[in-house]
Amino acid sequence: MSDFDELLAILALNRVADDLFLGSHPSKNPSRTFGGQLMAQSFVAASRTLVRDLPPNALSVHFINGGDTSKDIEFRVVRLRDERRFANRRVDAVQGGTLLASAMISYLSGGRSLEHGIDPPEVAEPETLPPVTELLRGYEQTVPQFVHALRPIEWRYTNDPAWVMRDKGGRLPYNRVWVKAGGVLPDDPVLHTAAMVYSSDTTVLDSIITTHGLSWGYDRIFAATTNHSVWWHRPVNFGDWLLYSTSSPVAADSRGLGTGHFFDRSGRLVATVVQEGIVKYFPHSRR
């Protein structure tokens, strides 16, 4: 299967009972279950239990333990609320009796009212930018975890990624990357949104280290996500490019915060992301 087909496969959860789902892993994995995978699968599990067709409003996930990529994950859904315009779900991701993550997901059909939004940054169009595979060429030994990672999402960086920036001796307080599904998604809003959730766990913490002129691979950095939240403002079409603009307002006490905004091609703000992670930097000792 292609990497994109593997993403569709892990999002096609096996429904064991009304509120219990089983999720698998893809063939390419980091040492622990990828957080974007856990979030996307949790979102799918919650959405498949809705009794009304309601759009998602917000998702907030707390990561508790690392997942074993050789084992399936249970997604246990708790129905907290079902009304005409509102629904709430809690999803616990459990593996072998160990809680990996707990997600709170809300759905809301609000209707029209006041509208405003921030403007997107001015960047090059995605068709004019190289795919991420070109940006990894020559860095196979530096960032092998990226070279060999599952890539079901197309990325087009509008700025140098961390490893290229570090090689040039630069630094940048933001990262801006175009993203979209790496294949044709079914006509299912749940899958479009889940794929966007999957992609939201990439690059969002990068600005913490690029602000300091550092990079994965070059520098000794440990990072682990502690919590991740998404707020949707408009429906997601992940078959077309979305600009994911991220920055880091603060890093302190070995923790860093990343914030991000997804804009569609017309410049409308589609979703807002906030992620916190433990980020520790171990400078190489000087001789």
Residue-range domains of the chain with CATH: 1-109 (3.10.129.10), 125-287 (3.10.129.10)
Q: Determine the average pLDDT of the residues in 39-68.
A: 97
pLDDT at 287: 43
Band (pLDDT 50/70/90 cuts) for residue 258 is very high
Tens digits of per-residue pLDDT, 118-149?
999 999 999 999 999 999 999 999 999 999 99
What percent of the chain has a predicted confidence (pLDDT) above 90?
97
pLDDT at 111: 87
Per-residue pLDDT for 284 more than 80?
A: no
By mean pLDDT, which of 65-74, 199-208, 242-251, 277-286 is the weakest?
277-286
What percent of the chain has a predicted confidence (pLDDT) above 70?
99
pLDDT at 193: 98
pLDDT, the chain, mean: 96
pLDDT at 285: 61
pLDDT at 50: 98
Could you write out the three-class secondary structure of the chain?
CCHHHHHHHHHCCEEEECCEEEECCCCCCCCCCCHHHHHHHHHHHHHCCCCCCCCEEEEEEEECCCCCCCCCEEEEEEEEEECCCEEEEEEEEEECCEEEEEEEEEEECCCCCCCCCCCCCCCCCHHHCCCHHHHHCCCCCCCHHHHCCCCCEEEEECCCCHHHHHHHCCCCCEEEEEEEECCCCCCCHHHHHHHHHHHCCCCCCHHHHHCCCCCCCCCCEEEEEEEEEEEECCCCCCCCCEEEEEEEEEEECCEEEEEEEEECCCCCEEEEEEEEEEEEECCCCCC
pTM: 0.96
pLDDT at 178: 98
